[in-house]
Structure 1
């Protein structure tokens, strides 16, 4: 999906991937992250956000909850992390990363609420009155009033499968009245997902109907209940190209994830400010008939993989087509059309969510100055393996 973009816009990343694998410094089934380019992307996103006074929570699931990169983002002045689930919250906090937004997309389990609140998140998203009540009860133990965001949904909003939940717009006032009665809760903001998506028709990022729902919800709460909504959180496709759109629609916060590695769907088709900064590295295991097979482990079903580079170096590489992966089987191998020498490096670049894979993650500095240094190798959930 991004292979041609990486070849053209970040060729040194490709060169480094061949070098590190052929030298045995990284294993097959490893995502290679170009730290310097990621930080430059992050800097550009923040610079644009500052122009419009948009605050940024960084999303780490796409890069395997990586704690090293998370800390570097904190040094740049990002507000903190948005933890997509409670497990991500735990590993980020234990690694010294500030938790800013927890509970979206995954609600906090009942027995984890005390742990999360003890870490002082700026805001927690809730989908139900019952979860708000649990949070209020725990907040009472700490003697605090916890800021929460309501996830609001309306008919015809976009909701991805396995992500359903939230307050129906038609029932919002009734729900908010009950939540507002809880003693240790402050209705601080509203959120939804996805608020912005890439459009093939316009070849750009456009808002979804979810944004209109948030605007209606804000109006309802402020006019009917005199609740001051201080955060309008509008995640998805947060990048330089979408920051102004967030501001134009009354948003206050964005949550860059794929933009940090230059891998939103927009970045696959246009040269945006962000530069691609991630590749997946494997190795030819064997040949059979007119196919060769490389080690898997990093497949993501929405990856849109088309091609791979195979060889021992940029000078000695071929581009091979990738067989469509089966949705029914474990990705023990990727199948490529054509034969290749066993031990050759295989390089992919595609849309991924590293935290759902079994891959390693190599964070590498100095790629652009021709002096690559492995900062650390981590597992797909952000745990340090080795230097």
Structure 2
């Protein structure tokens, strides 16, 4: 999906990935991330956010909760992270990353609430009064008042399967007086997901935004002021103006940090591609080449891959996407004009934390390329 943009804007990353694989320094099923390009992307995002008066909280699930990359993002000016789930929050906290938001896509399990509150997140999202009550009770026990976001999920809003839940407007109207009485929490804002979608190379708001706006008006009538409007999904330099115009006070860039939102296929935005996936030709069978898998992603929309015995001999070949109902032991190339052991390079949209891939961080590609570390898909250093 991003192969052409990567060839045009970050060819040195492709060359470095091929060399690392051919030298045996990385194995197939490894994502290679260019920390310097991520840093530049984060700097561009931070500049635009300041211009639009939007606070950014960076997402790390798609880059495997990686410590080196996270610290580069912080250095670039985005100081706090959003954790997709409580386990990510704990990993980032151990790395010394400040947690701005947790609990949105994945609620905090009851017996993890104390542990999560003790890492001092700025905001915790709740889907229900019961969840807010549980958080309030633990917050009081440890002597704090936790700011919470209410997740708005009105009937008819755009919600992905596997991510459904939150307050309908009717439920909010019914529960608000009970929520206000919880002395261990403070309703600090609203959130939903996704608030933006990319269709036909254009960013558009979802119905969720209107639902958030209606909920905000209701809360303001109840006396709430200065509510945060957290509007994640597809946050980038190209979409922040739309977010601000929609009432957002916060965005949560993830794929923009690696130049891999659907808008970035062209490569003609400040954020440049910073990630490739490395595999190796395993075998040939019935006019197809099979490459080692484990890190493919069902929504990747791959079309082409590069095959190379070395960085000076590269060919582009067609990809046959895997059936997402099967385990990706191998990927498939629609060719036999390759050799076993050749390096294979992909560039696609992914979520590393749900794969069993490794992640190699590289730097100084413009001068003297350096392998800075190899990590597993959930942020642990391998070597």
Question: So what's the TM-score if we normalise by structure 2?
Answer: 0.98
Distance, in Å, in 1 between the alignment partners of 2:169 and 2:40 is: 39
What's 1:199 paired with?
Answer: 199
Distance, in Å, in 1 between the alignment partners of 2:165 and 2:9 is: 39
What's 1:376 paired with?
Answer: 373
Per-residue deviation at 1:92? 0.9
Q: RMSD value over aligned CA atoms?
A: 1.1
What's 1:66 paired with?
Answer: 66
Distance, in Å, in 1 between the alignment partners of 2:323 and 2:197 is: 26
2:325 to 299, 322, 328: 328
Q: Is the 8 A contact 1:187 1:229 kept in 2?
A: no
What's 1:355 paired with?
Answer: 353
The DSSP-based 3-state class of the residue aligned with 1:16 is: helix
Q: Is the 8 A contact 1:167 1:175 kept in 2?
A: no
What's 1:104 paired with?
Answer: 104
Distance, in Å, in 1 between the alignment partners of 2:373 and 2:266 is: 31
Per-residue deviation at 1:229? 4.3
What's 1:30 paired with?
Answer: 30
Q: Is the 8 A contact 2:107 2:126 kept in 1?
A: yes
Structure 2 portions without partners, runs of 5+: none
What's 1:169 paired with?
Answer: 169
CA offsets per residue over residues 108-150 of structure 1, 9 Å max, x none? 0001000010111000000011100000000001111110000
What's 1:115 paired with?
Answer: 115
CA offsets per residue over residues 227-255 of structure 1, 9 Å max, x none? 22431001000000111111111111000
What's 1:189 paired with?
Answer: 189
The DSSP-based 3-state class of the residue aligned with 2:312 is: helix
Per-residue deviation at 1:270? 5.4
Per-residue deviation at 1:196? 0.9
Q: Is the 8 A contact 1:218 1:229 kept in 2?
A: no
What's 1:309 paired with?
Answer: 306
Q: Is the 8 A contact 2:81 2:98 kept in 1?
A: yes
The DSSP-based 3-state class of the residue aligned with 2:382 is: strand
Q: What count of residue pairs does the alignment treat as equivalent? A: 382
Per-residue deviation at 1:328? 2.5
Asked if 1:124 corresponds to 2:124, the answer is: yes
CA change 1:300–1:361 in 2 (3 A) is same
Per-residue deviation at 1:299? 1.1
Deviation >6 Å, runs of 4+ = none
The DSSP-based 3-state class of the residue aligned with 1:241 is: coil
Q: Is the 8 A contact 1:173 1:221 kept in 2?
A: no
The DSSP-based 3-state class of the residue aligned with 2:174 is: helix
Structure 1 portions without partners, runs of 5+: none
The DSSP-based 3-state class of the residue aligned with 2:194 is: coil
Q: Is the 8 A contact 2:35 2:72 kept in 1?
A: no
Distance, in Å, in 1 between the alignment partners of 2:104 and 2:269 is: 28
Q: Is the 8 A contact 1:306 1:321 kept in 2?
A: yes
Distance, in Å, in 1 between the alignment partners of 2:97 and 2:87 is: 13
The DSSP-based 3-state class of the residue aligned with 2:224 is: coil
CA offsets per residue over residues 138-181 of structure 1, 9 Å max, x none? 00011111100000122321100000000001221221211111
What's 1:40 paired with?
Answer: 40
What's 1:94 paired with?
Answer: 94
What's 2:144 paired with?
Answer: 144
Q: Is the 8 A contact 2:42 2:77 kept in 1?
A: no
Per-residue deviation at 1:10? 1.2
Distance, in Å, in 2 between the alignment partners of 1:39 and 1:252 is: 23
Distance, in Å, in 1 between the alignment partners of 2:9 and 2:240 is: 23
Q: Is the 8 A contact 1:83 1:101 kept in 2?
A: yes
The DSSP-based 3-state class of the residue aligned with 2:361 is: strand
Distance, in Å, in 1 between the alignment partners of 2:308 and 2:267 is: 27
What's 1:9 paired with?
Answer: 9
CA offsets per residue over residues 278-336 of structure 1, 9 Å max, x none? 00001111111311111001111101111110012343121111112022221111111
Distance, in Å, in 2 between the alignment partners of 1:100 and 1:328 is: 35
Per-residue deviation at 1:342? 1.1
Distance, in Å, in 1 between the alignment partners of 2:322 and 2:261 is: 21
CA change 1:289–1:171 in 2 (3 A) is closer
